[in-house]
Chain A
Amino acid sequence: MAEPTRKQNEEEGGEFAEFLADVSEEIAMRVESLQTPSQSAAPVKKTPVGADGGVIVEWPTIADRMIEEMR
């Protein structure tokens, strides 16, 4: 009795496995085009800080930076 059950389970997983393989293949083919454009864009700007450390000296740019990082 054990053998047919195991075979049956393999068959049951088979259809799903083939489906998963197709989906995986399609995603793998597309994965390069799925990369975010920003990942290869200009280098990330560093937060402007003063020489004495930790003090933000360029306040007008902070909002822009926050918006950029939230994208």
Chain B
Amino acid sequence: MSVVNYGTREITCKIVYYGPGRSGKTTNLQHVYSKLPEERKGKMVSLATETDRTLFFDFLPLDLGTISGFATRFQLYTVPGQVYYAATRKLVLQGVDGVVFVADSQSRQMAENIESLQDLHANLAEEGHDPRSIPLVMQYNKRDLPKSEISTIEDLDETLNFRGVPHFSATAVSGGGVFETLRRISTLVLSRLSAPAGKA
């Protein structure tokens, strides 16, 4: 995806929330949506099953208005976490500018986190992205659960964050850490605008 269009003076950033099923990706977007001022609220598109599992993907357009002469839009997507929706995840990753990996902090979910992270790297590589250089932020979600049930931040970081990218603790269900994560991935994506690859 072209991040910046000089002709129309538009900046468009596509950010994808990736992670295993039930890690809290949709909850992140729902919190962002709930905090948008009324005048900026577009329509969050969400397609879920009867049990609230994301069936296809969630899409939240964020129109930020004109910034320094550029009409700026962010597009936030989630992928369905379940293993059998591999094709959808590849589709959503097309043209991605930055990724938030939402990990489930529960100790028993560590294997799912690892599998999803491997899936992300494989799909990024397939899309022609270098998984080692694409803007990435880790979010360790569900930190509000009892300590006996969750891995420590150090364990999560050691197991999942081998790139040493910024990481955030979150309790997306109550909004904790959601905007911090979004702010960081956004600035990481924007910081690449001046790179040659960012030219439209």
Contact = CB atoms under 8 A, between A and B. Distances in A.
Interface of A: 12-13, 15-16, 18-20, 22-24, 26-28, 30-31, 33-36
A12 B190 contact: no
Contacts of A20: 64
Contacts of A12: 34-35, 37
16 contacts: A12-B34, A15-B35, A15-B175, A16-B179, A18-B179, A22-B183, A24-B68, A27-B70, A27-B193, A28-B67, A31-B70, A33-B194, A34-B6, A34-B68, A34-B194, A36-B6
Contact of A34 (B4, B35, B74): B4
Contacts of A30: 190-191, 193-194
B186 interface: yes
7 tightest A-B CB contacts, nearest first: A33-B194, A26-B190, A36-B6, A31-B68, A15-B179, A27-B67, A30-B193
B102 interface: no
Contacts of B70: 27, 31, 34
Contacts of A33: 193-194
Contacts of A16: 35-37, 40, 179
Contacts, number: 64
Contact of B190 (A18, A23, A36): A23
SS of B interface (majority): mixed
Interface residues of B, number: 26
B37 A27 contact: no
B67 A23 contact: yes
A15 to B, nearest CB: 4
B75 interface: no
A22 B187 CA distance: 7
A46 B187 CA distance: 41
Contacts of B191: 26, 30
Nearest to A70: B7
B183 A19 contact: yes
B92 interface: no
Contacts of A28: 67-68
A19 B40 CA distance: 13
Given A16-B36, A31-B69, A36-B6, 12 more contacts: A12-B35, A16-B35, A18-B183, A19-B183, A19-B186, A22-B186, A23-B187, A27-B67, A27-B70, A30-B191, A30-B193, A34-B194
